[in-house]
Amino acid sequence: MASLTLALLLALFALLTSADPSVPTQNTQFCNFGHPTGHADFCFGLSVKNHSSPKPNHDFHKDFHVSLSIRRSGKLGWTAVGTGPTMAGSVMVVVYGDPGRGRPAVSVRSVDGHHLPGTIDHQGVDGEVKGEWEGVEQGGVVRVMRAEWVLLGGGKEGRHDDEMEEWEKPDGPATHAARVEVVCEKCDTFGSVQSWGSGGTGGSMPWIWAWNDHQDFEHDGDGFEVGAKLKMHRHREGSGGFGRFWVDMRRAALEGGRHEVWSLAKIHGVVMAVGFLGLFPLGLVMIRMNSGKGRPFKRHWRVQVLATTVAVVGAMIGGRLSKWHMPKTSHQWLGVGIVVGLVVQSVLGWRHHVDFVRIKRRTWISHGHIWLGRFLVAGGLVNVVLGMLLAGKGAGSVWLVVAVGVLEAAGLGYWLWRAERQRKQAAGAGEDGTEALALMPRSSDGGENYFALDESEEESSDEGEDGKMSDEESLRKRSVDSATSVKKSLAATKD
């Protein structure tokens, strides 16, 4: 057990200290440098993968993963990148905001002509769905996966192209970069992408970019809202206000997903699912089983320690994903509550065992341990589902997990109810909360008591391997004590 726990912790350390794999390597990149103030300096990266496994003679839908790094030296202006050769039908990602506070505003927009674009339905980095304009038919889903400011330095510290002798480094406030990641699922269903597909001319597809360096969003009254009204970029192409570039879509493609690596988000989800759908319910079964190697109590606490370790590892991966920021979504808040509950649950379990060995009956701590454990397992299942919804998993996958959880809960509930009924039929409960007999006899000898949380005498026997009395020795001792008591009573009667 110790070696397994150590291995898990070492794996966690490797994950947390390695480069952030939530930012996949982009197969195709484009960078625009050279503006004197750095406002138009940005880098664009794209990878394309198939949305789902293809059927024979059917085409894939394409998922676009767009990464942007946009340099900013202040709160004025905006920068945008979009699909296709023109604004009409383009899926445009517009970034603006104040590097001095909050996240960058990431607004996904489109338009049916060359006029002011409107926001389309997309999921923000906080999980909320945003969008007002319905002038474009959306066959795909757009999700903002990351939006944060990164301090790069300022003043005399230079820029991307500071090796150019003719460029004079500007004085001014600290320079930041907005790091943005957007996933456009089934992006080939949008009009501007449909006309080019993933092929186009020679396997290339046009993209557009534009920027504005003077709009003051706060002065205009909209603030940095996702739907804030945008002022015009410069009019003439080549003036530095907008432009086009081409992307080799063949190089951007991740063929069959073979080059994909598991992201931290996927590892987080799998680890939590294993813990709350597998290990914690298994620990509940272990405390009630009367067969197998080892005593039920020892099997129970070993499985529960492993399950708790797995859950804590998953929670730390989740914290790494959120950059250790304050929770903002229901999934994050519930996750924090579950981790705190697991700590309390572990303390209650240890205290219950110590008290039970000493006084041979349940206390409020015992009931707290049992019921808190049930709530934590149920809450963990709910949070797995919330995490899948937040990650944009398909309805089929979500309903499958829900079905597994419901069936598992129903099966465990029936099994525990049946075991409890057999216990009552075989033993019956004492008025003081103790029980005369165990839940079931062991099948190996037909009479050896098995340990369960609600028994009065068997928990102490789990220490037999460490030098304490065995079950048979305890039974013989109680028989001798009972016989002695009877003799004393008879002697007193004769007197």
301 and 241 in one domain? no
pLDDT at position 283 over 60 = yes
| Statement: residue 281 has pLDDT above 80 | yes
Domain assignment present for 384: yes
Residue 431 domain-assigned (yes or no) = no
Tell me what pLDDT residue 333 has.
Answer: 92
Q: Which of 124, 86, 97 lies closest to 108, judged by CA?
A: 124
Question: What confidence score (pLDDT) does residue 459 get?
Answer: 41
pLDDT at position 433 is 43
96-112 average pLDDT score: 87
Greatest mean pLDDT among 52-66, 298-312, 412-426 lies in 298-312
| Co-location of 45 and 188 in the same domain | yes
pLDDT at 432 over 60: no
Strand partners, 181: 67, 146
Greater confidence (33 vs 282) lies with 282
What's the confidence (pLDDT) of residue 194? 62
CB 135 within 8 A of CB 118: yes
Q: pLDDT category, 473, cuts 50, 70, 90?
A: low
Residue 185 confidence (pLDDT) above 90: no
Q: How confident is the model at residue 484 (pLDDT cuts 50, 70, 90)?
A: low
* Residue 146 included in any domain: yes
Domain boundary among 222, 257, 292: 257
Structure-block tokens of residue 461: 């026997």
Residue-level pLDDT at 126: 61
> Looking at the 3D structure of the chain, how many domains does it have?
3
- Please check the confidence at residue 321 and state whether its pLDDT lies above 70: yes
My answer on whether 303 and 155 are in the same domain is: no
pLDDT tens digits, 383-405 = 998 888 877 677 778 888 888 88
DSSP reduced 3-state for 130: strand
State residue 180's pLDDT score. Answer: 92
Could you tell me the CA-to-CA distances from 239 to 117, 147, 358, 421 in Å, in that order? 21, 28, 84, 82
Maximum mean pLDDT: which of 11-25, 54-68, 243-257: 243-257
Average pLDDT over residues 400-417: 84
CA dist., res. 385 & res. 374, Å (int):
17
More confident residue, 233 or 14: 233
Residue 320 has pLDDT above 60, yes or no: yes
Average pLDDT over residues 192-217: 72
Neighbours of 218 (CB within 10 A): 12
Q: How far apart are CA 270 and CA 427, in angstroms?
A: 42
Considering only residues 119 and 235, tell me which one the structure prediction assigns the higher pLDDT. 119
Predicted local distance difference test score (pLDDT) of residue 291 = 57
Instruction: Provide the whole-model pTM.
Output: 0.47
Q: Identify whether 397 is part of a domain.
A: yes
Write down the pLDDT at residue 255: 57
Is 70 exceeded by the pLDDT of residue 259?
no
**What sign for the dihedral angle of Cα 337, 342, 347, 351?**
positive
- The rounded distance, in Å, linking the Cα atoms of 134 and 109 is 10
**What is the separation, in whole angstroms, between the first and last Cα of the chain?**
61
Structure tokens at 482: 């009972």
For residue 238, the domain's CATH number is 2.60.40.1210
Query: Can you give the pLDDT at residue 337?
Result: 93
Q: Tell me, yes or no, whether 6 lies in a domain.
A: no
- Domain with 323, as residue range(s), is 264-426
Task: Please check whether residue 217 is in contact with residue 107, taking contact to mean a CB–CB distance below 8 angstroms.
Answer: no
Residue where a domain terminates, one of 257, 288, 323: 257
Which tokens belong to 460? 């102490």
> What tens digit of pLDDT does each residue of 194-203 get?
655 544 444 7
Does residue 212 share a domain with residue 279? Answer: no
- State the pLDDT at residue 240: 57
Q: 175, 159 in Cβ contact below 8 A?
A: yes
pLDDT classification of 495: cutoffs 50, 70, 90: low
- Most distant CA pair in the chain, distance: 121
230 and 314 inside one domain: no
495 three-class SS: coil
Angle at 79 between CA 85 and CA 44, to 5 degrees: 65
Average pLDDT value for the chain: 71
The answer to whether residue 243 scores a pLDDT higher than 60 is yes
Same domain, 315 and 235: no
Q: What token pair was written down for 23?
A: 């930012």
The average pLDDT across 9-30 equals 51
Percent of the chain surpassing pLDDT 70? 62
